[in-house]
Chains A and B, each alone.
Chain A
Amino acid sequence: MTTTLASPNVAATAPLPAAARTRDRWQFWGRMLVLPYVLVFLVFVLYPVGYGLWLARHPSSYVRLFDDPIFFRSVVNTLIFLIVAINLKMVVALILSGFFVQQRWWIKVLSLIFILPWALPSIPTILSVRFMLNPEWGVINTLIFRLSGADGPNWLNHPPLALGFSMLMHIWKSLPFWTLILIAGRLAIPHEQYEAASVDGATNWQKFRFITWPSMRTLYVTSLILSMIWTLGDFNSVYLLTGGGPADLTHVLATLGIRYLRLDEVDLSMAAIVVALPLVLPLVYFMMKRLSK
């Protein structure tokens, strides 16, 4: 019975009916156990994505989208965010990973404190920074006034400054995580290599250039790409600090969708995401290649 139903290659490798029956049973339970996630995927990923693409089907949406100066501003802001903030963050994380692997008691203590931004939820700390930057009552302008007698600038009312602070906020929040990742990478390098280099009289720069960097390059690039993908979705750093303002000039793609939703323009919101896909999909493809081995 079982052998007649089994496909030829299964029958060839498992001629015993009992073994084939066991295998069928294990496959059955395999399917049952994988089913919950498959359902989650179909109902809450595939359908929303499909529905979103369907909403984005009107060519007129794209005409209106490209007519909207805020859309272009958001794309530019997103690119600035990705190129400036991410590279700055990763270079600093690389340097700090070298700092944190030093053996000192106070560096151990500092590393516990350093994790705080990552451990704390982002909302209270972002709001805390937002109040620090308040032009009238914020602590920064209060100190400026006390020291110089002059009124400080209206920090978040100046688009480049406001975007700059959003980027700093993002770096503040996610720097600990990437530093941890790069520390793990550094600790994986065998210590003998550095000792041998010291014997040969290598300088610190040469050690970094010829030992550290070659073994960390892959990790660094993977982290960079992954960080870019996550940053594309970083809604809080911008939305809670600047609200996309002043005059909608600091929106990024992550917050633009919400802006269109507020304006009751869901089609535009979906069209904006479709336009961003050429930016996102290569990054996603790269990461899937890396991780799905």
Chain B
Amino acid sequence: MKWKAVATEAKLLLIGIPLFLWTVIPVYHLVLFAISPRDSATSGKLWPDHPTLQNFAIVFQRKHFYLDHFWIQLWNSVLIAVAVAAITLFVATSAAFAISRLKVRGGRTVMNLALFTYFIPAAFLAVPMYKTMGNYGILNSQWALILAMVTIASPYCIWVLKQASDKLPFELDEAARMDGASPLQLFRLVYLPLMVPSLVAVGTYALLLAWNEYLYAFLLLSNDTSTTLAVALGNFLSADDSPWELLMATGLIYALPPAAIYYAFKRYMVGGLTAGAVKS
């Protein structure tokens, strides 16, 4: 019996250890590069002889051709992510409320259209979106990226919020109606407070989606001072002799905020996402 327990532990470790290495190696490599001096970064050592924060100093002081617009690009990333989250929350919450609680006529159709949009692979919509933004005359304006990301983010948010709204008891609405509440009062005073956990989940989802987006950002924004940090990272690839250690340091700076937000809101995210992706 004891041997069997040991064998079980051994089997679990046999999965756990490779899984740990598989997960951590690319991330560890990223961090290792970011804290290595330029000439020792490629030596293949597991830990640099002289770890340094020099690379971050260079990034913050923009002392490289690729980093000329670092601060403005970081600001653009923040601005666009926050704008996308705010607009998506507004669009998705009001739509979910109208469909789920006010039972607006045609709500089911709107829901199906949203679901259909959710299932169009984003990369397939990219070129038509690019041409469309050109037709609308807002190509290279940050509005183009914000609106495109709202379009991509809101269907899933509407769906998750509708699922959550459907679970709220209808007696609440009826009681509010009896008391003579208007639809907007119901929305503001009853609906929104009850929906806070779901709103956190979808708001975070939209925020991270916009922050992480690369394809749409590089298609829709070509100007160095209007584009996001994601595109700036991709630009490092344009030459073979790119300063990798600076790219990795910038990449780490870029990766930390969303990871922190993700872990902070993990409880909401995992609940919302797992409930959203699979309703069986």
A residues touching B (Cβ–Cβ < 8 Å)?
22, 25-27, 29-34, 36-38, 40-41, 44-45, 47-49, 51-52, 55, 95-96, 99, 102, 104, 106-107, 110, 112-125, 127-129, 131-132, 137-139, 142-143, 146, 172, 177, 180-181, 184-185, 218-219, 222-223, 226, 229-230, 232-236, 239-240, 243, 253-255, 257-258, 260-261, 266, 269-270, 273, 276, 280, 283-284, 287-288, 290-293
Contact = CB atoms under 8 A, between A and B. Distances in A.
Contact of A113 (B20, B94, B95, B262): B20
B278 interface: yes
Given A34-B94, A99-B15, A119-B258, A124 B252 contact: yes
B211 A121 contact: yes
Given A48-B131, A125-B30, 11 more contacts: A30-B99, A37-B92, A49-B120, A51-B132, A120-B255, A124-B30, A128-B29, A172-B22, A222-B278, A235-B126, A266-B127
A255 B44 CA distance: 32
Contacts of B66: none
B151 interface: yes
Contact of A132 (B26, B132, B151): B26
A128 B259 contact: no
Contacts of B130: 261
B43 interface: yes
A18 B128 CA distance: 48
Nearest to A238: B123
Interface in B10-33: 12, 15-16, 19-20, 22-27, 29-30, 33
B104 A120 contact: no
Contact of A131 (B19, B29, B129, B279): B29
B97 to A, nearest CB: 6
A138 B26 CA distance: 12
Nearest to A287: B119
22 contacts: A25-B183, A27-B104, A44-B132, A45-B120, A48-B125, A51-B132, A51-B135, A115-B266, A120-B258, A121-B254, A123-B214, A123-B251, A124-B255, A125-B26, A172-B23, A181-B274, A232-B123, A235-B126, A257-B124, A261-B219, A280-B120, A288-B116
B198 to A, nearest CB: 16
Q: Is the interface of B mostly helix, strand, loop or mixed?
A: helix
A36 B90 contact: yes
Contacts, number: 287
A33 B94 contact: yes
B147 interface: yes
Interface of B: 12, 15-16, 19-20, 22-27, 29-30, 33, 42-44, 90-92, 94-95, 97-99, 102-108, 110-117, 119-132, 135, 147-148, 150-151, 154, 158-159, 177, 182-184, 187, 211-212, 214-215, 219, 230, 233-234, 236-237, 244, 247-248, 251-252, 254-255, 258-259, 262-263, 266, 270, 273-274, 277-280
